[in-house]
Amino acid sequence: MGNNNYFEAIEGRRSIYAINNEAVVSEERIQEVINHAVKHTPSAFNSQSARVVVLFGDQHKKLWTITTDTLKAIVPAEHFSSTLDKMNAFGAGYGTVLFFEDQAVVEGLQEQFALYADNFPIWSSHSTGMLQHVIWTSLHVEGLGASLQHYNPLIDDSVKTEWNLPASWKLIAQMPFGNIVAPAGEKQFSPLEDRVKFIK
């Protein structure tokens, strides 16, 4: 990918909520893209603390059923219809990427490098943020729409139990993705001169 394509990909990545499960990209290609992102996204001390689970088909739908059931128990009934609409929209997609950070790795670094102990959870957060952006942008390049959701920690225990995941994996975010049914709306930008300073 050339420089122009790289910048176009960054610009084109948007929060897409209207998705369906039309297979515009094969599961094998999605696996390749996500493996590449996980392998090459940087992490502090090369800790490689990121863990990713990709759910397809019925497993993907199961996640949003779990999330719906969890929210139904805590969201007031009069407000639940809009929540249900969101859950159905996410569940209508092709799959979901679950992002985790392995706390065993983070804690191991805290013990090994005690001087930086307070920083390792922060750096872990930086690392997963980069990975989320890389995967999100990569899915966009493949013609898929996605959005980033945070129903953790409400669903953490259910997710770990359902897919038999290690206790040390901390759920950070969920990214439902699929074929784009409707594009994102217009995006407003604050003036860059208020956000960036070039000092010579």
Two structure tokens written together for 17:
């909520």
Rounded Cα gap, residues 183 and 147, in angstroms: 12
Residue 75 lies in a domain: yes
Q: Which amino acid is at 181?
A: V
Assign residue 103 the CATH number of its domain. Answer: 3.40.109.10
Residue 143 lies in a domain: yes
Residue 12 lies in a domain: no
CA quadruple 54, 167, 125, 117: dihedral sign: negative
Determine contact, residues 184/14, Cβ cutoff 8 Å.
yes
Domain count, the chain: 1
Determine contact, residues 97/56, Cβ cutoff 8 Å.
no
pLDDT of residue 24: 93
Determine contact, residues 143/54, Cβ cutoff 8 Å.
no
pLDDT of residue 4: 77
Residue 65 lies in a domain: yes
Indicate the pTM of the whole model. Answer: 0.95
Q: What residue numbers bound the domain in which 94 lies?
A: 23-178
pLDDT of residue 146: 98
Residues of the chain with pLDDT under 50: 1-2
Between CA 188 and CA 87, with CA 21 as vertex, the angle to 5 degrees is 65
142 by DSSP, 3-state: which? coil
Between CA 49 and CA 169, with CA 71 as vertex, the angle to 5 degrees is 15
